Structure 1
Amino acid sequence: MSKGMLIVLSGPSGVGKGTVRQELTRRNKGQFIYSVSMTTRQMRPGEENGVDYFFSSEDDFKQAIKDDQMLEYNQYVGNYYGTPRKYVEQTLNRGQDVFLEIDVGGAMQVKEKMPDGVFIFLTPPDLQSLRGRITGRGTDSPATIDRRMDRAVNEINLMKEYDYAVVNDVVSLAADRIEAIIESEHLKVERVIQDYLKVLGVKNDYKTNY
């Protein structure tokens, strides 16, 4: 059985990662597993533990880091965010695709550990629209918004480390573009050749990381 494909979606805070991911999940029920991140930040109105995030105490999160149970983690605006490692690896080994929605720092950590993943950078049409989205949340102070914007500029400069860049101008269009990327990646020879060779009964020493 072929290993599942890891799909990593990240981008600046406020770019709409969660909204785009929800649209992809709605369209593609069962086609990939969304790996819920863990965080120490407070739950926002409308969020659900185990669905949007696993909400954790800071002490428990730090213990998970110490025990090497996190695939990636980062501290952002005073809170920890991270991805439980064991669940992702087990799901991929079962042949199921895993979809991660994480920040840029976390994506770079994952890339070091799992470079065969598909890394997609979600970018805003421009910085003005990004500020408008962050401000529209109504959850951050002006000082926090300024910090988020400064960080966003630095994160956009890391776009070169990704495989693809997708503009989130309209959510449905951004989801269309990501679906096209995923479909194309599944057809790469490196990902499918071993299965075809087995079906054909051909012995081959073709080397692949997938």
Structure 2
Amino acid sequence: MDKLDLAKAYKTYYTARTKPQIVEFEPISYVTIAGKGDPNGTTFANATEALYTVAYGVKGKCKKAEQDFTVPKLEGQWWVDGDPRTALEVPREQWHWKLLIRMPVFVTAELVEEARRGALVKKKELKVIADVGYETLHEGLCVQMLHVGPYATEPETLAQMEHFILKEQLSYRGLHHEIYLSDPRKIDPDKLKTILRYPVQAIEVVKG
């Protein structure tokens, strides 16, 4: 039985250049969980564990149905109250986030719900599993760039993206989106690779 590797099947989604580029995506489904607070805190850690628990539960059910897949990289959307691009300018305790793990097209909301219920039974102490859901996002046209280095230096990459967005006469249309290609527990911070992505749209030019 072949195992689906989403990173190989959707290379445009899981790869990016070290300079800004324009990409476009169709609607994509995920298991998700949302929260607020410092990403180094317990709430974030528990949410991540809950999300992976459900994702692997889905994988297990798919494997039994001979539709096995590799659970892909963790992703996150980030924002603060007000302008979503100012997250790095406020205390981390005020950050809102939504963690995501992409699902294959054959995974349904019903299957995710089954996996979520099963996970709640197996890990009764991890009550936040109840907050994991299934969601489809359509980001459409986006600007993305590969950030290499620690998360703290992301503003340098985001500045390049903003310059590119303005130069191309585009405007922001959605939340800051990150895909974590590296595991920070296993790699030097200077070598971390993260895809940074923003949904965008063309600026309407009013002609006189």
TM norm. shorter chain > 0.5: no
Structure richer in strand, relative to its length: 2
Structure richer in helix, relative to its length: 1
Please classify the TM superposition score into its range, dividing by the shorter chain length.
under 0.3
